Amino acid sequence: MIEHVLQTLPQVIIDGLALGAVYAIVALGYTMVYGILELINFAHGEIFMTGAFVGTALLLSFSAFGWLSSMPMLLALLLVLVATSIVTGLLGMGIERIAYRPLRNAPKLITLITAIGISFLLQDFVRFITELKKGNYILTGPSLFTGQVNISASSIWSGFHDASVKSSFFIVLVTAVVMMVTLDFFVNKTKWGMAMRAVAQDRETAALMSVNVNKVIALTFFIGSALGGATGVLFAIQYGTIDPYIGFILGLKAFTAAVLGGIGNIRGAMFGGIVLGLLEMFAAANLPIVSDGILGAEYKDVFAFSILIIVLIFKPEGLFGKVSVEKV
């Protein structure tokens, strides 16, 4: 049994990293918004999904115009990424302005409900636009980066099987790392980043220190949503086919990752995302073997949710978070 697990380990690690990278960036969006507003932005998963659809639509129109074959794939991808990020960033800002700002002083329950409402709204909105244009709501984008790369891990140790990897995996990984590093730099080393951290720590004092709180919050939403949208494009490239409901479950798992790493902590979210991706892939590949066929691969969702529940019960501040004491 152990040899079975070890044999597929390289493949599992690679798949887990790809999935984890996606979770990590989406988790960033959740954690940034929570840090600033103490609000779980339920709609973030749908922003990710919208980004995937916008990106695929752009790619499809590129290939319809024949541009896709004439320019290098990387350039096309870059253009699409930038365009989608801007669109989803604006979308996120718009949502904050319309739905969250009026409720800033309302009880948390109400804002949560609004977020759920927006999530549903976006899902159905994308669905009927896609259905209108296409007939059903499943959208398949043009396939980019489909080259196969074979990693002969068996040369490292004979217990491993070879792993085969799509070249889109490298694109996803590299882009994700670039985005995370840029965000880290932005938050920690620039003035705006400092303003964001200040507002997250104590909103009123930051306002007293002449930080324009509304602008900072809008900026946070823009950045978080832009990143989420860009991840959506990466997801679309990795898997090829998307539908309006991918955002929800993925958002939930990304939130788990954010909580795992410590909500409000950006590096924690990145770490949590990758760990969760690896764990989930590991469970999917090995649960049946380990449990002798009782638990099938379909239990991997249960696995992810159980992690969430356990973390929230026993260590709600996450791996990297600080315990916050509730003051009366």
Q: Which of residues 162-221 bind other proteins (CB under 8 A)?
A: 164, 166
Q: Which stretch binds other proteins (CB under 8 A): 5-13, 64-72, 193-201, 224-232?
A: 5-13
Among residues 131 and 202, whose Cβ is nearest to other proteins? 131
Q: How far is the CB of 297 from other proteins (least distance, A)?
A: 5
Q: What angle do CA 14, 18, 24 make, to 5 degrees?
A: 130
Rounded CA separation 233/235 (Å):
5
Among residues 108 and 322, whose Cβ is nearest to other proteins? 108
- Chain centroid to CA 297: 22
Binding string, residues 13-52; x marks residues near other proteins by CB under 8 A: --x---x-------------------xx------------
Q: How far is the CB of 284 from other proteins (least distance, A)?
A: 2
Q: Which stretch binds other proteins (CB under 8 A): 67-75, 212-220, 264-272, 297-305?
A: 297-305
Number of residues this chain uses to bind other proteins (CB under 8 A) = 85
Q: Which stretch binds other proteins (CB under 8 A): 78-86, 186-194, 268-276, 302-310?
A: 302-310
Q: How far is the CB of 326 from other proteins (least distance, A)?
A: 7
Rounded CA separation 248/313 (Å):
23
Question: Binding to other proteins (CB under 8 A): which residues in 130-159?
Answer: 130-132, 135-138, 140, 143, 146, 148, 150
Rounded CA separation 255/145 (Å):
29
Q: What angle do CA 169, 171, 176 make, to 5 degrees?
A: 95
Question: Binding to other proteins (CB under 8 A): which residues in 275-294?
Answer: 280-281, 283-285, 288-289, 293-294
DSSP, collapsed to helix, strand or coil, labels residue 150 as: strand
79, with CB counted inside 10 A (0-12, 13-18, 19+), is middle
Question: Binding to other proteins (CB under 8 A): which residues in 240-269?
Answer: 240-243, 245-246, 248-249, 252, 255, 259
Q: How far is the CB of 54 from other proteins (least distance, A)?
A: 18
Among residues 186 and 248, whose Cβ is nearest to other proteins? 248
Question: Binding to other proteins (CB under 8 A): which residues in 62-91?
Answer: none
192, 32 contact by CB (below 8 A): no
DSSP, collapsed to helix, strand or coil, labels residue 52 as: helix
Query: What is the b/e burial string over 107-125, where b = at least 16 CB atoms within 10 angstroms of the residue's CB?
Result: eeeebeebbeebbeebbee
Q: How far is the CB of 63 from other proteins (least distance, A)?
A: 13
For strand 139-140 and strand 148-151, is the pairing parallel, antiparallel, or unpaired?
A: unpaired
For tokens 């976006």, name the residue: 122
For tokens 């409402």, name the residue: 117
Question: Binding to other proteins (CB under 8 A): which residues in 94-123?
Answer: 99, 102-103, 106, 108-114, 116-123
